[in-house]
Amino acid sequence: MKPLGKRYFLTGLLVVLPTLATIYLFVSLFLFFDNILGRYISKLTEAYLGFSIPGLGLLVFLLIVFLTGALATNLIGRRLIGFFERLWLKFPFIKSIYPALKQIAQFLFSHRFRGGLQRVALVEWPRKGMHILCFVTNQTGPDLGEKLGREEYCNVLIPSVPNPVTGFYVIVPKRELIFLDLSIEDAMKLVISGGVLNPGDLSRYEVSSEGEL
């Protein structure tokens, strides 16, 4: 049996560590976004009011994001943003980083982009006897399906770890897919964790009364 002190320490660590990590992440993100514009706004408030207002930079940043989103929903705004984006991509260093970051942001926050992932499945990859988690994106169109045979085929995205945005697009016979009762979000967490988490760990994380996982 484990010593009582060690059991209490591990149990407390499992409770306190995620809480502290969450608080640290929240504070770090708050300071990061507030500091983007806060350093300039603080100079103005100190000059006119005599003091700085913590969090004002974050509020202005969120307002700009909201107004940019409103602008991007109309035709003129989309063209204007597209113009500046093409101008932005003319810089060599930015050109190699910005598209990847934009793709990740679309994948994480765009419901329409993630909506293309229809179901989660397993498929034998890269050889027989080995299985990999994959996302069924669509039914293979007749232009390709007829070339492959009469059976039903599916378009499948095989994600890479730990970045599920990238991966391989393959066409797989539907009969070779093992469909899972797993949501897209949970499957993403599973891929990002590299298998550290199991599907059962995603819905609950409990510590037993004995202080063990």
Residue boundaries of the structural domains of the chain: 1-88, 113-198
- Which residue type is seen at 36? I
Closest to 83 measured CA to CA, from 70, 72, 67: 72
- Which residue type is seen at 111? H
pTM over 0.85: no
Helix or strand (DSSP H, E) at 142: helix 142-148
pLDDT digits (tens, 9 = 90+) for 123-179: 998 888 899 999 998 888 877 777 787 788 999 989 888 777 778 889 999 999 999
Could you tell me which residues are beta bridge partners of residue 121? Answer: 134, 179
- Which residue type is seen at 127? R
Q: What is the pLDDT of residue 213?
A: 37
Of 30-39, 62-71, 192-201, give the lowest mean pLDDT range.
192-201
For residue 158, which phi and psi values (nearest 5 degrees)? Answer: -100, 105
Please say whether the beta carbons of 122 and 103 come within 8 A: no
Please give the Cα distance from 126 to 84 (Å, whole number).
42
Question: Does pLDDT of 113 surpass 70?
Answer: no
Entry field: residues in the chain? 213
Please give the Cα distance from 98 to 121 (Å, whole number).
31
pLDDT digits (tens, 9 = 90+) for 164-184: 777 888 999 999 999 998 888
